[in-house]
Structure 1
């Protein structure tokens, strides 16, 4: 099954480098993705990209996963090489910068109105004061890949190397659980582009189930998993991708899980069984990420944003 390509309204709205993972914009009327030193906004009604926002990020392709906070309309984006910043999405003013990581920042989330948690390639997670930019706490975590906050419980989960996941209290970074998920020995398909390569055993994508008890992760071993956030007990495993699963999203009201992989496909699964309901071929393995909004999947592929209707 194919996807629809969303078009720019002007040449200035054409990304000249790969796009990062898309997110719903705080105004509820746009979907956004970062590329180079700009953020691109697509109107969800018309499908047209008519606006870009300048940033000070120095990553191409983007390493930083955009994040938004709808309550106050704030957006988190990378800043320069090893920092990140919070912006007002309305007037696009930089409200604060956060400096202190030793390597590029991979992701950050608001855990409270005045608290932000970030993860970096320097092997740390940090808790920050959202208004002053002060670092409040630093925690070492080897090779953090993904960061997810549960809006109901306030818990934060960080995933990393060899199936490791740590669950933290967001406002304090106190550890609530340390998990190690069983990973499988994946193999690239014979004759494929990566034949002879060695898949990684990290959890590269992470999101909370709306029940606040379970997490869903996308593995470098080609498997997506649902597991309990306190015990690590695996409830479901979804097999079918032929490369690392780098994006996951849940549509609980329809009972669906969506996954994106470097095998060049987006798959839609039943959240209550291992059944695969749809496979969408993107035509390229360069997926930046995906999100769900308004009953559709938005996925970035190279310098394009595409939309895929949910089943």
Structure 2
């Protein structure tokens, strides 16, 4: 799906939204722009039967349009995988059969996915489209994330609305700052600030694991839902600035040492758990744990200042 306005121009690459709700929001806006309707509606809420349609637009230039969104690699409120990924013949036909029950009847039905364009899936969509139209039913289309990237480059308003932070990136240093900001957010938690005895041991250890995961991957996970709530393009290994990269590499090592001390203290009895909370009888170990916790924040704040970012 090409636009003559894009020919001869360098285009921006965009990553899919983190949450399926965001993907639906983006799809709603794209339907409005692509089909020239003032308003498209999102159908229902999570858990409600939607008859194969998440976004609906009536009275478009092609009639009634319904879109079913399939976000790749996301989780629902119960932490179960949501449908997504490669579009199989079975999935395509199953979703299309649901859309046949939608009222009023559709003229165009779209299965939209964050998956990359796939020739086998396109072939199945063409066959299903021919089959449906031969018996007077709706047209069948597949939208891949590649198509979304094309539309995002064609419609500047969409870029500003959904990707303003990415548009602001003009250099490798800007990208580095975005990674560092995401990592810094992971350190803004009680595991590094509250007295050790106030934190449940399992929660404390999980918080340190999540912080180190953010440092290495650029993904920040919510403590309760386990959903990814913020994501950069990668962790410290993706930084271009050598000094910043070295600083975060050392910070990664500090977190490994801190986690090791906690686990070792539990194993050898210097740390005890009372009702799940830490009881530290070894004062030298308590001082060492606090020194390392505060040392992590000191290292991070030093790096934030050097990157012209506000310290924690």
User: TM-score range with shorter-chain normalisation?
Assistant: under 0.3
Higher gyration radius (CA):
2
Q: Which has the higher strand share?
A: 1
Q: Which has the higher helix share?
A: 2
Q: Give me the TM-score of the superposition, normalised by structure 2.
A: 0.24
Q: Give me the TM-score of the superposition, normalised by structure 1.
A: 0.24
